[in-house]
Structures are given as structure tokens and as C-alpha cells.
Structure 1
């Protein structure tokens, strides 16, 4: 009889701790939704809990009616530590207002540093508020590189194997 009582108590305690963990996650979830709402009124279309090197965060995507997309990374305290706005073209007013070099110049810069074939181009405004051409390049050796070229300066600001 005492054994059954111990099992019941343990089950209740585990249930309480599980509830506390869920409540904490809901608070973080709500904090991140609120933080995103302070940046854009565009509807959230995806929100996923991620874990990178032991650090949990939410990856949140929102989309506007003009085709612009937002991507946020938000820690469990509701702090947005990365945000990007992906625009449908380099002619979008938000991107065009910041660019000083055109896509062809940026493509040439990326391919000089990482020769290959451009398979995809994205037009982004990053966390720091500047416009970036992001090129996905398939190289001759089979590797895929993601190369970001600052649309204001023409400098490569990021290059990593995808």
C-alpha cells in the first residue's frame, strides 16, 4: 500500500514540474509573439522552438500582403536577437532605398570570390538595417555556399558553406 502511495506522490510531483515547464514555455512563446508584434503587424505564419549548441530560441516567420517576409530569432526571455526582412525583389521600395550597387555588380563580386553557378538570390534587410543580396552558389566541387553582399558597399559580409 505504501509503495502505491509513493508512486502516486511521485506522479503528482512530476506532473507539477511538467506543468511549470509548459507554463514557462508558454510565457516565452507569448513574450516572443509580443516582441515580433512590436516590429511588424504582419501575421506570424510559423513559429518553431529551435536548439543550437544547447541554446533554445524561437524561429519565427511572418509574411506581409506585399510579398515581404520576416524571420526573427527570439530567446526565451522575449529578446529578438536576429531579424531579417526578405523582400520579393531588389526593386521593393525598402530595399531600393538602401542599395547603392545593383544585383549584377553584387553577383559578380560573389562569383569572383566563390566561382560557381548562382542557384538562388534573396533580397534582405538584416538586423543592422542594411540591404543585403544573398546568393546561393553551387560550386564545381559540389559544395554550396551562401554569400551575402552588402548592397550599399559591395563588400562580402558573410560567406558560409550551406
Structure 2
């Protein structure tokens, strides 16, 4: 019985689903006769960088239903607000969501003069590009406000490292 469990653990390690450390801990528990609390393959662990990246990308939910791009990131931010990194990334996202909402209202008002049409198109392009840039930065551990953002929340930006020129 113990051999089967260790073989299953080894398969999970070979597939990259568990780390070497998790493998050794689970193997020790099996050999000591302790029952597993949870199957290793059912435990989903994400780091804060992945969560922050998804937080940025949830702005695209507004393509499915209006204002979902506001509600989903807000809920994600509030659910992990106790984590300082996710809190800062949530502020970045909310700053842009509120800013783009204000810019969209201004563009809709300028529809009367016809200048609002190209401005709204430019805003849509900026929203896509800035969101992707923000998600990439978040996955690298960089906290940076989007360009053209009105700062409603104070964000402690991290400086991007500049590689020395050789």
C-alpha cells in the first residue's frame, strides 16, 4: 500500500505537479504511517505574481458584459487586499478603470462634434495595450501605473531596473 502511494507521488513529481520538497514531505508522512490530508494533485497553489497578472487581465471581462471589467477586478482586489503586492496591483487596476471610464464619458460627450469617435477608438486601443503591459509587469513583480492614468489611489511604484550598458 505504501509503495503504491510513493509511486503515485513519484509520478506527480515527474510530471512537475509537485516540487521535490513536497515529494519528500509527503513520502516521509507515508513512511511514518500518517494519512495524507489532501491529495497532492488537488492542491492548487498560485503565487502573488500570477494572481496580480490575472487581476489585470480581468478588465477584459467588460467585453462580455458591461461593467464586469469593473466588478471582477474590484472583487479580486478586495479578496486579497491583505497582501501588500496584490493591494498595490489592485490600486493600479482601479486607477486605470476609473480613468478610462472618465475618458469614455468625455468621448461620448464629444460624439456630438464627431471628434469623440476617433478618441473612443484610441481609448479602446490604449486600454488593450495598457492592460497587457500591466499584466506583464505584474507577472514580473513590477508595480507601475498605466500611462495616462488619473491617480485616485496612491500607488508605491517599483522602479524598473535598467541594465548597465556595456
TM-score interval, normalised by the smaller of the two chains: under 0.3
What TM-score, normalized to structure 2?
0.26
What TM-score, normalized to structure 1?
0.27
Name whichever structure is richer in helix by fraction: 2
Indicate the structure whose relative CO is greater, using CA pairs within 8 Å and at least 6 residues apart: 2
